[in-house]
Amino acid sequence: MSTPPPDTELEQLELDLFVEALKRRHGHDFSQYARASLMRRVRQLVHDHHCSSISALTAQLLHEPDFVIQVVQGLSVPVSEMFRDPAVFRALREQVLPILASYPQINIWQAGCAHGQEAYSLAILLEEEGLYERSHIFATDFNPDALQRAREGIYPAKDAQQWSRNYLEAGGSLSLASYYSARYDFIRLHERLRRNITFANHNLVVDKVFCEAHLVLCRNVLIYFSNPLQNRTLTLFRDSLVRGGHLCLGLRETLDFAPVAVDFTAVDPKLRLYRRSSQPTSGNRDESP
Amino acid sequence: MNRPEAIAIGCSMGGFDALKILLAALDPRLPQVVLVCCHTAGNVEAMCELLASHSTLPVVEARERGPASGNTVHVAPGGYHLLLEHDRHFALSVDERVCFSRPSIDVLFESAADVYHAALIGVVLTGANRDGADGLVQIRSRGGIAVIQTPTSAKAAAMPQAALDTAGTDYCLPLEEIAPLLNRLCLT
Ligand SMILES: C[S@@+](CC[C@H](N)C(=O)[O-])C[C@H]1O[C@@H](n2cnc3c(N)ncnc32)[C@H](O)[C@@H]1O
């Protein structure tokens, strides 16, 4: 075994140039993503597209107009489940929905929706608690392909078993199967579930607040962001939330390094469930003039 | 040769019992960062507590964005890949499973190798899959040291065997001899 040691510094430089090319040529800004994961995704792209190096990938990105679509798909990680972490969905059902019930119209922003699994999970919760008619779920992502699949609501049948268990653990009183029809190797969620969901393209790095939300659910998205971008995105959520509105993050995410955390109070810290404080906010609102 | 700054340990089937033995025999003065990726269906927080009662070093679940501090064992949380940033803080990801596993040993090893280069020891213990083999290749290609539990002494031989076949190794030892070796490599 005498492969020469890979020049890690050179590879870091190549990653910088790739990120710069993606930003300047295509307007996608990954410069504030956490580096280790980004490097891993980019290496994966290099491998999948049979490139000899990150620089070769960058060249393709610069010269082949449509290649960027595949690159963004490779950098986005649309991995999700229905009712992932059932205890969280149980808490949403038992603790949060009763509070949301006091609003005449309920707006939920589900950011980083991947293939829609969590948006549909929320729709089922709201349906079962009798709130869905006056609710609207804005499910956003920056990956157009993921959004298209989310709209279709078709998933591999092999995933349904785990999701059915999750659903029951989350306090579901029926069977998940009552919300889908099974065809061969796939399940298709009932179209009815989608009636109050809007799947829309929204990039957390550049796009602004677009609704007044009573609940923001953004799980396992900020883990891919550097500390400054995490803080900026949390500021966006704060500004979107009504006072007292709920924020739900992924089970292993921390607010410890985000200054804007002072504007949230923990409802259930283990489940990463927070509320926007009712006091006036600390810093400036969103940068927009 | 530079003194190692970190030890990354991967294990799967039979891993919990192996870790108990290994961590109990580490020198409590080790200044290195110890990283552990152990495939388990169970609760990692509970596992850390149990391991802590055997270990000479504190055992904690690695915390998102938290520092990879020395003289401490950091265990990858369940359901997430554990990675290291260049500023030696942890990052998590829910990228696809690797070798059917999340956390994956390959992911941890590769990212630790990016940060520590030659100052890293990779350890592959018992397990019934091939996770860790490719990661160990990455560690070795950057000049890091590979330690593999002898497959015949492992509860499940497949994982150390795959690591041996794929990456080769600097040391291949029965479990009981691994901690003494690490102490020697890390303190002298
Ligand atoms: C790992 S998935 C999380 C899915 C789901 N929330 C869950 O926890 O199961 C991360 C999602 O965040 C999306 N994402 C990443 N960066 C984004 C950005 N800047 N704006 C919007 N969505 C983004 C990805 O496309 C991907 O679908």
- Residue A2's φ and ψ, nearest 5 degrees, are -130, 40
Domain closes at, from A25, A44, A76:
A76
**Ligand 1, atom 24, residue with closest C-alpha:** A76
When pLDDT is cut at 50, 70 and 90, the band that residue A6 belongs to is low
A67 plus A125 within the same structural domain: no
Domain boundary among A32, A54, A76: A76
Token pair 């999340």 is at which residue?
Answer: B102
Which chain A residue shows the shortest CA-CA distance from B166?
Answer: A1
Q: Which of B66, B86, B93 is nearest residue A224 as measured by Cβ atoms?
A: B93
CB B66 within 8 A of CB B90: yes
The amino acid that residue B185 corresponds to is L
This complex has an ipTM of 0.95
Query: What is the signed CA dihedral for A122, A123, A128, A130, rounded to 10 degrees?
Result: 110
Are A254 and A211 within one domain? yes
pLDDT of residue A246: 98
List the strands of the sheet with A197-201, edge to edge: A197-201, A135-141, A106-111, A213-218, A241-249, A273-276, A264-268
CB A210 within 8 A of CB A111: no
CB atoms within 10 A of CB A48: 11
Domain presence at residue A195 = yes
* Shared-domain flag, residues A101 and A59: no
Residue A272 Cβ inside 6 Å of ligand 1? The answer reads: no
**Which residues span the domain enclosing A14?**
9-76
User: A159 and A51, same structural domain?
Assistant: no
- Please indicate, yes or no, whether residues A46 and A161 belong to a single structural domain of this protein: no
A53 and A181, same domain (yes or no): no
Inter-chain touch B83–A37, beta carbons under 8 Å: yes
Bridge partners, residue A216, by sequence: A109, A247
The CATH number of the domain where A224 resides is what?
Answer: 3.40.50.150
- Closest ligand 1 atom to Cα of A112: 12
- Look up the pTM and report it: 0.95
* Domains contained in chain A, number: 2
CATH of domain B6-187: 3.40.50.180
- Asked if residue A170 and residue A47 are part of one domain, the reply reads no
Task: Round to whole Å and give the CA distance between B69 and B33.
Answer: 6
Domain boundary among A45, A76, A107: A76
pLDDT digits (tens, 9 = 90+) for A9-54: 899 999 999 999 999 999 999 999 999 999 999 999 999 999 999 9
- Chain A: closest CA distance from residue B167 (Å): 8
> Is residue A283 domain-resident?
no
B4 closest CA partner among B24, B22, B37, B26: B26
- Tell me, yes or no, whether A57 and A184 share the same domain: no
Same domain, yes or no, for A210 and A263?
yes
Give Cα A16 to chain centroid, integer Å.
25
Q: Is residue A288 part of a domain?
A: no
| Residue type present at position A276 | R
Residues A154 and A243 both lie in one domain: yes
For chain B, how are helix, strand and coil distributed in percent, rounded to 5?
A: 35, 25, 40
CB B159 within 8 A of CB B129: yes
Q: Is residue A1 part of a domain?
A: no
**pLDDT (tens digit, 9 = 90+) per residue, B137-158?**
999 999 999 999 999 999 999 9
Contacts of the segment A235-239: beta carbons below 8 A, 24+ positions apart:
A235/A260, A235/A283, A235/A286, A236/A204, A236/A208, A236/A209, A236/A286, A237/A109, A237/A111, A237/A213, A238/A263, A238/A264, A238/A276, A238/A281, A239/A209, A239/A281, A239/A285, A239/A286
* Any atom of ligand 1 within 6 Å of the Cβ of A58: no
Tell me which of A84, A221, A225 to substitute to probe ligand 1's pocket, judged by most ligand atoms within 8 Å of the beta carbon.
A221
- Mean pLDDT, contiguous 10-residue spans, chain B (188 residues): 91 97 98 97 93 98 98 97 98 96 98 97 97 98 97 97 98 98 95
Mutate to test the pocket of ligand 1, among B64, B80, B94, B102 (most ligand atoms within 8 A of CB): B94
Domain ranges of chain B: 6-187
Ligand 1 atom with least separation from CA of A114: 27
Q: Is A85 in the pocket of ligand 1 (CB under 6 A)?
A: no
Could you tell me if the CB of A201 is within 6 A of ligand 1?
Answer: no
